[in-house]
Amino acid sequence: ENEISLASVWPNPAPTHVSVEVENAFKPESWTVYALNGAKVPVNPIQAGNGWQIDVTHLKAGIYQLLLQNSNGDQIRSTFIKM
């Protein structure tokens, strides 16, 4: 698996949602969000234009890591803060 760092996540910190854009060649197959304690948090990304939006209203305030993976096993990791 390869790690690619070409992702934009905003706003950061996020009050209600985060928007995610990745390079055009990267097609996420799986989305995982982890809390700082390592627990997986359920998310439901919705395609919006050239990227996706993730509703984070159900998350507690804190720091989270987003992990995207494509069908080749390539990954993108990004950190965001929930207000």
Burial of 78 (0-12, 13-18, 19+ CB in 10 A): middle
Looking at residue 15, its pLDDT comes to: 97
pLDDT at 4 > cutoff 70: no
> What pLDDT is recorded for position 64?
97
Q: What does the pLDDT average to over 2-12? A: 80
**Which residues, 6 or more positions from 3, have their beta carbon under 8 angstroms from its beta carbon?**
74, 75, 76, 77
Residue 25's pLDDT is 81
Summarised one tens digit per residue, pLDDT across range 12-68 is 999 999 999 988 788 899 999 999 999 999 999 999 888 999 999 999 999 999 999
